[in-house]
Amino acid sequence: MRDFLTQPNPVAAALMSKMNIPIGLYNCTVYYARQMWLKTGKIVSGFDLTAEMKINKHFNAGYASAMQQTCLNVGEAFKSFKKLLSEANIGKLE
């Protein structure tokens, strides 16, 4: 088993590489959205994230609809964060 983890065959290596693509896109998208929020104070939408990530190698490595959905999900998460942040600022959260 240890040899498999350190020296995977070409098929296993290709599968492992493909499995990391959505994770890489998700991390890149979250990083970009967080940086935009920290630098400008604005929460970017999922559509803005999709447009920005189209030049990303992780975005272009998978099916467009799945990659777009990943960007939209990150946008929704940041939209939820914005709502929680505004509620925390007015003291509605406990």
Domain locations along the chain: 21-89
pLDDT score, position 59:
75
pLDDT at site 3: 45
20, 13, 19, 17: which is closest to 4 by C-alpha? 13
Q: What are the pLDDT tens digits along the chain (94 aa)?
A: 444 445 556 665 555 555 555 577 888 889 889 999 999 989 999 999 888 888 877 777 777 888 889 889 999 999 998 998 888 888 887 6
Neighbours of 65 (CB within 10 A): 8
Q: Does the predicted model carry a pTM greater than 0.75?
A: no
Do the Cβ atoms of 41 and 66 come closer than 8 Å?
no
- Check residue 19 and give its pLDDT: 54
